[in-house]
Structure 1
Amino acid sequence: MKILNVTITVQDLAKAVQFYRDTLLLPVELTPAGAAVTIGSSRLMLSPGDTFAGVHHLAFGVLPSEFELAHAWLAARVPLLTADGSEIIRGSDDWKSRSLYFLGPEGIILELISRAADASTMSGKGDTPRILSISEVGFGVDDVLDTAATLTRELGIPHFHDLSRSFASMGSDDGLLILVHQNRVWFPTKSSEPARGPLTVLIESPAVNSQVQLNARISIVSE
């Protein structure tokens, strides 16, 4: 599964554009609906919207060979979140990953993640880490197990390495949908709950030309 496009709303479009363009140095194009941020092979679509409770979570993939570069590069631009006193957060033996967490516009939980599965991909030669894609999209639902079953049944998305009542990862190393219970706090924060604002995710999955409306706010579209 690959994540092609993620659409969210922001309250201050100008500040969001400035962050992705000037802080993360990502290409940003203004559109009639708002702005489009190119994140490797994915795009993040930003459009003005109303205030909502909670915050979104997105992870951007980086190469394992460039993780140290990404760490130094990112730490020079934003404060990094920590877990157990460390800025580098390692995944489980199943995940085989390392992550850096930080806050983006309006409290969005952002992450740079390197996966062992990308170890064979060639690194760049510049001073800026190569961002591969939107690697993960996280969102809150009322019933994690039921939502996971729906995604498998309707879109052919398998569970990755986690499947419980409070947390599930769906997809593959190429792209993951992270499902958490709506009242769960986003790791590694101690207070940020999942967004209750609109979210549309366009993916590449086995079920082409399909759409699942998970609730009034969240739509998953496969092409």
Structure 2
Amino acid sequence: MEIQELTIFTNQLVGQRQFYSKVLELNILNESKNFVLFNLGSSNLKLVKRKKITTPYHFAFNIPAGKEKDALEWLKKRVEILKINGNEIQDFDSWNAKAVYFYDLDNNIVELIARKNLKNQSTEEFDQKSFLEISEIGIPTTNIEKEFDFLNTKLGLSIYDGGFNDFCAIGTETGLFILINKNVKGWYPMNYRAYSSDFKLKVIIKKETYEIEYINEQIKTV
């Protein structure tokens, strides 16, 4: 799966525009008083203004394999890194990947992840152009199996890792739905409460394009 565009909602659009364009230095493709559209590699991130209070998301950006240390040094000049037991880089042996986590202005948990299996190494100096694509979006739920059945039946996606108890990653390393049972698990790495935050998604799966909505804890294709 490839994520073409992720749409999330914010009640502080001006501040988030500043964060993503000035702090992370992402290129703005389009904007109005109600939205800002950023580019990162082969994906776009769209922030849409919402008056009511919004709840945090978890999403991830792929970076070149082996660039996690360079990414960390680049980020430390801009944001506070989320640590576990003093470690700034998190090692996922079973995924053959390493990641760095931080918050944006809305306390969304943003992850930069380097996946060795993708063999996308780069000799270029790390900067915002090293954000290759959006590769994960989180879905906190109370019924992982139900959400998997939809994604499997409608989109033909399979389990990448996990199961139906508390955690399940569905899709491929270039595009994953990260499902957690929000009654028993919080978001890694701080185990903070996970919210079922509304989002929209445009994806490519086996050369077919799909538009997906997750609104009011209901996932559907549109």
What's the TM-score, normalizing by structure 1?
0.89
1-side partners of 2:210 and 2:3: how far apart? 14
Deviates more, 1:54-63 or 1:204-213: 204-213
2-side partners of 1:148 and 1:48: how far apart? 29
2-side partners of 1:13 and 1:53: how far apart? 11
2-side partners of 1:220 and 1:115: how far apart? 29
Which aligned segments of 4 or more residues in structure 1 are displaced greater than 2 angstroms?
29-33, 50-54, 124-127, 206-222
Where does the alignment leave 5 or more consecutive residues of structure 1 unmatched? none
Q: Does 2:64 correspond to 1:63? A: yes
Q: Which residue type is aligned with residue 139 of structure 1?
A: I
What's the TM-score, normalizing by structure 2?
0.89
Determine the structure 1 residue equivalent to 2:134: 134
CA contact 1:64–1:116 (8 Å) conserved in 2: yes
CA contact 1:80–1:101 (8 Å) conserved in 2: yes
Where does the alignment leave 5 or more consecutive residues of structure 2 unmatched? none
Shift of the alpha carbon at 1:216? 3.0
Q: Does 2:204 correspond to 1:200? A: no
Q: Which residue type is aligned with residue 163 of structure 2?
A: L
When the two chains are superposed, the root-mean-square deviation of aligned CA atoms in Å is: 2.2
1:52–1:185 CA distance, 2 compared to 1 (3 A): farther
Determine the structure 2 residue equivalent to 1:35: 36
2-side partners of 1:212 and 1:7: how far apart? 10
CA contact 1:155–1:206 (8 Å) conserved in 2: no
1-side partners of 2:14 and 2:105: how far apart? 10
CA contact 2:198–2:214 (8 Å) conserved in 1: no
Residues 127-178 of structure 1: CA deviation (Å, up to 9, x unaligned): 5261110011112122011111210011101110212321110001111110
CA contact 2:65–2:121 (8 Å) conserved in 1: no
Determine the structure 2 residue equivalent to 1:161: 161
1:36–1:220 CA distance, 2 compared to 1 (3 A): farther
1:167–1:177 CA distance, 2 compared to 1 (3 A): same
Shift of the alpha carbon at 1:201? 1.4
- The 5 A counterparts of 1:8-27 are 8-27=8-27
1-side partners of 2:88 and 2:220: how far apart? 32
Shift of the alpha carbon at 1:190? 3.5
Q: Which secondary structure state, in structure 2, belongs to the residue aligned with residue 147 of structure 1?
A: helix
1-side partners of 2:221 and 2:160: how far apart? 19
Q: Does 2:151 correspond to 1:151? A: yes
1:142–1:53 CA distance, 2 compared to 1 (3 A): farther
2-side partners of 1:89 and 1:122: how far apart? 19
1:28–1:53 CA distance, 2 compared to 1 (3 A): closer
Q: Kindly, what percent of the aligned residue pairs are identical? A: 24
Q: Which secondary structure state, in structure 2, belongs to the residue aligned with residue 114 of structure 1?
A: strand
